[in-house]
Chains A and B, each alone.
Chain A
């Protein structure tokens, strides 16, 4: 079992839809939770990060972390065609030998059609 599980999709939605992307994980040492966006033939870029449990909002994007369920989510409101990309969740511990190392989900490919 991989430490981070993410449904690869693909996910296809109409413009303006609310998109929900999710990951589950097994390592209780993870404390930092990130969402990266990767456009085709580009490197991943950080979208949002949160520490421990809770919600974080940035414009049309909301990240949620539920550590009790080992489940994280990214919501995209009013989705736009420019949001079409692969979204990768990533996690890291805040101490120990794996400090700084990121564990990624496989990524969910999202297409928003006009």
Chain B
């Protein structure tokens, strides 16, 4: 158990809908990362937050947005869902964002299925 929690474990929804994925980082970690894992693309970085502020953006679609709250939990919002958004979404956390290296601990993931 990494200490990172994600809810829900599974989500099944229809095209055009909107969903929210939730992540609670490990105690003491200030930085949260979101990743998407699909069979054809592998694990892709979406976005990073550090202590409530957006720190870095990867290949995140405009239909997706995220935020980190004062209690450091984070939410990833996916809207106007398409079939191709079906994937595993992982949250990871680390102590800081400004150290040259700090280990990222991954949560168990949310499996999103868009029908």
Binding site for B on A (CB under 8 A): 31-32, 36, 42-46, 49, 51, 88, 92, 94-95, 97-107
Contacts and interface: CB of A to CB of B under 8 A. Distances in A.
B43 A44 contact: yes
B80 interface: no
Contact of B101 (A43, A92, A105): A92
B108 A100 contact: no
Contacts of B16: none
Given A99-B97, A104-B35, 4 more contacts: A42-B108, A43-B90, A101-B33, A104-B42
Nearest to A107: B42
Contacts of A94: 100-101
Nearest to A32: B101
Contacts of A51: 101
Contacts of A88: 42-43
A99 B45 CA distance: 13
Contacts of B100: 31-32, 94-95, 99
B62 interface: no
Contact of A101 (B48, B103, B106): B48
A99 B42 contact: no
Contacts of A99: 56, 97-98, 100
B28 to A, nearest CB: 17
Contacts of A44: 43, 90, 106
